[in-house]
């Protein structure tokens, strides 16, 4: 469920930036939705690397959520700072 929320938030942020002229209130809600998805994710967040040398890497689902949070937050920061 959290992955779906993050994907919706990320795709909607992209469309908000390019098609809706970056409405600030909508972008704030989409960013909040992405952060909610990050904190409600209950799956595995990391796994051992393929080399088995003790390092950990993110799982694909958690990496998608992080990408949506990062993208939505950066778009909100850009629109808040007046970037057009």
What's the confidence (pLDDT) of residue 70?
A: 92
pLDDT in tens, 22-78: 688 888 998 999 999 889 888 777 776 677 777 777 787 888 888 999 999 988 898
Residues 58 and 62: their CA atoms lie apart, in Å, by 6
What's the confidence (pLDDT) of residue 69?
A: 92
Question: Is 37 exposed, middle or buried (CB count within 10 Å of its CB: 0-12, 13-18, 19+)?
Answer: buried
Decide which of 11 and 51 is more confident: 11
**Relative orientation angle of helices 60-80 and 24-40, to the nearest 10 degrees:** 150
Look at residue 20 and tell me whether its pLDDT is greater than 80. Answer: no
pTM for the model stands at 0.80
Cβ-proximal residues to 8 (8 Å cutoff; 6+ apart), any chain? 33
CA distances from 39 to 21, 53, 78 (A): 28, 29, 23
Average pLDDT over residues 9-34: 84
Q: Both tokens of residue 62? A: 């958690």
């Amino acid at each position: 469920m959290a992955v779906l929320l993050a994907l919706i938030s990320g795709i909607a942020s992209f469309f908000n930036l390019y098609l809706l002229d970056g409405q600030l209130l909508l972008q704030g809600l989409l960013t909040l939705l992405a952060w909610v998805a990050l904190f409600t994710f209950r799956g595995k967040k990391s796994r051992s690397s393929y080399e088995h040398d003790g390092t950990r890497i993110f799982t694909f689902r958690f990496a998608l959520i992080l990408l949506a949070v990062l993208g939505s937050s950066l778009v909100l920061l850009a629109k808040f700072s007046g970037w057009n």
